[in-house]
Chain A
Amino acid sequence: MYGLGIIKGIGVTFKHMIDTYIEDIKWGVKRYTTDEGFTYRQSPETRGLITVQYPEEKMAVPERFRYIPFLVTNEPDDPEAPNHDWCTSCGICAKVCPPQCIWIVRGSDPQTGRPIPEPEAFFIDIDICMNCGYCAEFCPFDAIKMDHDYEIASYDRTTSHVHDKAKLAKPISYWQTIAPTRAEQERLAREHKEAAKAARKAG
């Protein structure tokens, strides 16, 4: 029968609409107010509409999410070295960066003029950064990490889009908040490395 294909097609869209209502009745308000409701709505098991009501609700980004990098520092109340940069200004991130958006001034001892393992200045031009994550991936000191803060709209690109060290620096506890599992894994790996080093020294 001519038109049967169209009618069957309309049936699909109709079912799609009904599905949303069935889900709403099944879940009630929980579909929109709880994390379980949200998780179910944003999973392969879901039926009907899967819209995220941004900005009233935002889908939390996964731990591996990559956005503009930041520099890891010690806590402000660290007993030994507060706010100390983890960065040793080795320059690997500047070398691996595909669009070359990282600029580093290596620190030097004011007396001897010898290089010291901390950066004097550190810049990232976030207009150029392509969020590939190589800097974080290849940093041997866990000193640069990819941020999760994707809402960074600003009014003036010429003044606010070159991030300097002050703007890039964030304490380690921030990284532990946004990526708890990875931060823990990295901490264990660091401890393991330290222990191995100590054992080598002792042996």
Chain B
Amino acid sequence: MTDSNPEVTSPEAVSTDVYETLIQKFPGVVERDTREGYTGIIVRDRDKLVEVATAIRDDLGYDLLSNACGVDYLAEDKLEMVYHAYSVERGGPALVFKAQTPRDVAALPSLVSVWPSTDFQEREAYDLYGIHFSGHPNLKRILMWEGFDGHPMRKDWREPFYEEDQKPFKSRWPGGHVQRAEMHVPYGMNVQYPEGFSVDQWAPEAEQAVYAALGTPTTETGTDFSQIKTDQMVVNLGPQHPSTHGVFRMAVTLDGETVTALEPVMGYLHRNHEKIGERNTWLGNMPYTDRLDYLTSMSNNLAYALTVEKMLGQEVPYRAEVIRVLMAELTRIASHFWFFGFFLNDLGAFLTPSVYGIAERDLILDLFESVAGSRMMCNYMRFGGVAFDMPPYVGGPAVRENDRGRNIETMKYIKDLVYERLPRVIDQFDTYLTNNEILMTRCRGVGYLAPDRAIAYGVTGPMLRAAGIPYDIRRSDPYSIYNELDFEIPVTYNSDLYDRYLIRVEEVRQSIRILQQIVPRLEETEGQEYWAGKRAYNVRVPAGEQYGHGENPKGELGFYCISDGGANPYRYHVRSPSFVNLTALEEMSRGNKVADLVVILGAIDIVLGEVDR
């Protein structure tokens, strides 16, 4: 079922050779990015971008294009696309390449033909930056609605209730009389529309675009329809439907019960997290990352802290690393327990598995609450450590009416969890579900995604490992203290729903194994420093760019940050695993039954907080 991979690829830096090779191969086209604090290369000749990208993929072997995002350099009158490509086989850090376009031209060739993983990410860049990608098969807005005026991530675009470019706002202190934003701008006038636009007369053309993207209905399902009187139809699943795990919508063309085409529609939960992030101070973004994938806030904190620490060159004390890994792995377990419950929910096993999963998750959240102060919105990591040391006790004193106090020693609580409860419970889940015949019949062979397609789509996390590819950032580009911990990266090979379930069971076991190595380290480092450096609230970050990432329970969570040397990020991009993994949804669902479609979506394990951002 699983496969160990004893050969841990060493994290060799992207040697200058790689960039040299490219510069020699494409003289005059490619040049080094020489800006202060920047890495990688810039493709100067935009028309050659596809050619260069193909060479990076085929000749250099960087086959996983993880991140693609836009940047607006307003002062230089340029828009830039930044790409981060990884090698699945070799691991190591990213190969960074960029392409620039003047703001008034705002056009670049699309890389969808080379890496389908850029599909949604280019649509996002088109939506938020207004970059037109020639050759993109389905270039339309993805997070904002069709008919929205302007491109909100551009530096000269200002949101409703705009106050200032950067926090802290001057109106708050010393003469800060409270103003409610909604009183300031009356309701109905706080949204900007294109010229000549009227809400009352608006016909939702975007709907037509959604259905047009489904293409002409086909009957290639292998069924002999000549004998049956039938027709194809378009059905909307969501946005208001519990099976879509939030406000997510799938427009599907059905041939009988078989899905022939699918178009995901998202953005219902969009709040322009990245624009908020650019207004915020560096530290101020930390609690916002909690709200991305709100089931894994500790891991989100960690990935963001890693990115900014890289920019600061900040060292992290050993105890902080230990606590971070403890929290990240507990988060993984909690998230996977949640997954088991709701995956079974999607299959029709209503509530019992989810309640079992949630009960275990709650015990983990109790620990988070005592350590960080909040169950879900932890806001626990800081640049250079963690906010607090481990508390002596889990629980609190009874103060209010009907309060029941609890006082369990933290180490005892953790040990009970790690050595007794979690191993027992995962075995229990295994007995409960893994060999269940209904589960097997429903899941085996459904939602297949070929391994090479999975890489092409930029799929990461358990989805990729279920396709037989042992790619895990904890090993391929190690961070924190994962290097000194002994664990395996489980792999399954069938790449169907059942394997995506199995892989998570195995990942929980591996996480428990990590935790069992963490507990003694936690005891050894008792009383040591947990937060290095100055505890400043106005952290200033040296100018430059950085891409940092961590292995979240759902896949690769990356942050691409640019600093101009100030107290606020110039660019703050979130590469969220759920968003990119959704790119593969159509390929996985085509040809499957509509009842399985819900489960296929469930097996990606999306959280709309980070899909829509």
Contact = CB atoms under 8 A, between A and B. Distances in A.
Contact of B420 (A5, A38, A45, A52): A45
Contacts of B178: 103, 123, 125, 162, 164
Contacts of A143: none
Contacts of B369: 61-62, 64-65
A27 to B, nearest CB: 14
Contacts of A16: 356
A130 B379 CA distance: 11
A13 interface: yes
Contacts of B366: 42
B416 A96 contact: no
A44 B243 CA distance: 31
A137 B387 contact: yes
A66 B373 contact: yes
| Most interface-central of B172, B285, B393 (chain A CB within 10 A) | B172
Contact of A62 (B394, B438, B439, B538): B394
A195 interface: no
A106 interface: yes
Nearest to B429: A12
B431 A12 contact: yes
B311 interface: no
Contacts of A94: 168, 172-173, 176
Nearest to A164: B178
Contacts of B111: none
Given A8-B435, A58-B402, A103 B176 contact: yes
A35 B175 contact: no
Interface string A88-109: 0101101111101011111000
Max chain A Cβ within 10 angstroms of own Cβ: one of B163, B176, B379 = B176
A96 B287 CA distance: 12
Interface in B157-204: 163, 167-169, 171-180
Nearest to A64: B373
A112 interface: no
A185 B173 CA distance: 30
A142 interface: no
Contacts of B440: 5
Contact of A134 (B392, B407, B433, B537): B537
A38 B387 contact: no
Contacts of A105: 174-177
A5 B537 contact: no
Interface in B353-406: 356, 359, 362-363, 366, 369-374, 377, 379, 387-388, 391-400, 402-406
Contact of B175 (A4, A66, A106, A137): A106
A68 interface: no
B379 A100 contact: no
A45 B420 CA distance: 8
Given A60-B397, A133-B379, A44 B388 contact: no
Interface residues of B, number: 74
Contact of B438 (A4, A6, A177): A6
A100 B169 contact: yes
B395 A102 contact: no
B592 to A, nearest CB: 23
A160 interface: no
Interface in A60-99: 60-66, 89, 91-92, 94-98
Interface in A100-153: 100, 102-106, 115, 121, 123, 125, 130-134, 137-138, 146, 148-149
Given A62-B396, A100-B172, A130 B287 contact: yes
Contacts of A146: 373
B374 A65 contact: yes
Interface residues of A, number: 67
B326 to A, nearest CB: 15
B152 interface: no
B209 interface: no
A58 B420 contact: no
A9 B169 contact: no
Contacts of B284: 96-98, 134
B408 interface: yes
Contacts of A203: none
A35 B437 contact: no
A60 B283 contact: no
Given A39-B395, A42-B406, A121 B177 contact: yes
Given A63-B396, A64-B388, A134-B283, A38 B172 contact: no
A44 B373 contact: no
B373 A133 contact: yes
Contacts of A22: none
Contact of A9 (B362, B371, B372, B432): B432
A43 B176 contact: no
B288 interface: yes
A56 interface: yes
Given A132-B379, A177-B399, A178-B399, A104 B174 contact: yes
Contact of B177 (A103, A149, A178): A103
A39 B405 CA distance: 7
A188 interface: no
Given A38-B404, A64-B372, A137-B387, A2 B398 contact: no
Nearest to A38: B404
A138 B433 contact: no
A55 B404 CA distance: 11
Contacts of B352: 13
A153 B394 CA distance: 27
A162 B179 CA distance: 9
Nearest to A123: B178
Nearest to B432: A12
Contact of B288 (A98, A137, A162): A98
A59 interface: yes
A180 interface: yes
26 contacts: A5-B437, A11-B431, A35-B405, A38-B405, A43-B406, A44-B413, A44-B420, A58-B400, A59-B406, A60-B406, A64-B369, A65-B369, A92-B537, A95-B173, A96-B284, A98-B167, A103-B172, A104-B176, A105-B174, A105-B177, A115-B174, A125-B178, A131-B377, A132-B377, A133-B379, A138-B537
Interface of A: 2-6, 8-9, 11-13, 16, 35, 38-39, 42-45, 50, 52, 55-66, 89, 91-92, 94-98, 100, 102-106, 115, 121, 123, 125, 130-134, 137-138, 146, 148-149, 158, 162, 164, 177-178, 180-181
Give the top 9 A-B pairs by smallest Cβ distance, nearest first: A5-B435, A103-B176, A106-B174, A132-B287, A44-B416, A98-B284, A91-B173, A123-B178, A64-B373
Interface of B: 163, 167-169, 171-180, 280-281, 283-288, 352, 356, 359, 362-363, 366, 369-374, 377, 379, 387-388, 391-400, 402-408, 413, 416-417, 420-421, 428, 431-440, 535, 537-538
